[in-house]
Chain A
């Protein structure tokens, strides 16, 4: 059964720093992997979706990469801003089920 983990559970960085969030999955036979942002008490906002045939996707200051062979995806945030503070979740899709990680809570300090 697929398991998705995210390390670290929480991260604090000063404004302007570049940072990387990690997502690991145990079963490499995935169709796609999606990154989301969740603000406290709110629903999830889709950030990027990487298909299994792709290695990365970019949107503005965000870049997500996928390495199926090692069971890893990373979300790179450039020039972080206080408005980036939120919980970031990744989710894998294997054709039958979506499996979410527990999230990384990011705080960007002014």
Chain B
């Protein structure tokens, strides 16, 4: 089955720790995205990648980093510089930038 997978489903971060969220797609999509969702708010774009080996900052990139070394993978690292990381993180992909987005099941990040 084609789709987008995210792991883990739940992730706990300690103070000062970097954590990495996984996102994999087998849809052969060029574009991939990372969003953050907070209660009662719309999704906010963290980073996006229009093509492999390229990525751009979104509205709230501070405290986050990404890589796009393979077409199917777009991992997100939440660094210790992100002071309020508790949120639901969603990864998405589309065949090209700006077209219909398909979302993964999400990762919920909690701070210990």
Q: Which residues of A contact B (CB under 8 A)?
A: 4, 31-32, 34, 36, 41-46, 49, 89, 91, 93, 95, 97-103
Contacts and interface: CB of A to CB of B under 8 A. Distances in A.
B105 A98 contact: no
B59 A34 contact: no
Interface stretch (B13-21, B63-71, B73-81, B95-103): B95-103
Interface of B: 4, 6, 33, 35, 40-45, 58-59, 90, 92, 98-106, 108
Nearest to A4: B42
A97 B42 contact: no
A86 to B, nearest CB: 13
Nearest to B6: A43
A46 B100 contact: yes
Given A31-B98, A43-B90, A44-B90, A100 B103 contact: no
A100 B42 contact: yes
A32 B108 CA distance: 29
Contacts, number: 54
Contact of A46 (B45, B59, B90, B101): B101
Contact of B42 (A31, A45, A89): A89
Nearest to A99: B42
A110 B104 CA distance: 30
Nearest to A95: B98
Given A34-B100, A41-B108, A98-B101, 9 more contacts: A32-B98, A43-B4, A43-B103, A44-B92, A44-B103, A45-B103, A49-B99, A98-B33, A102-B42
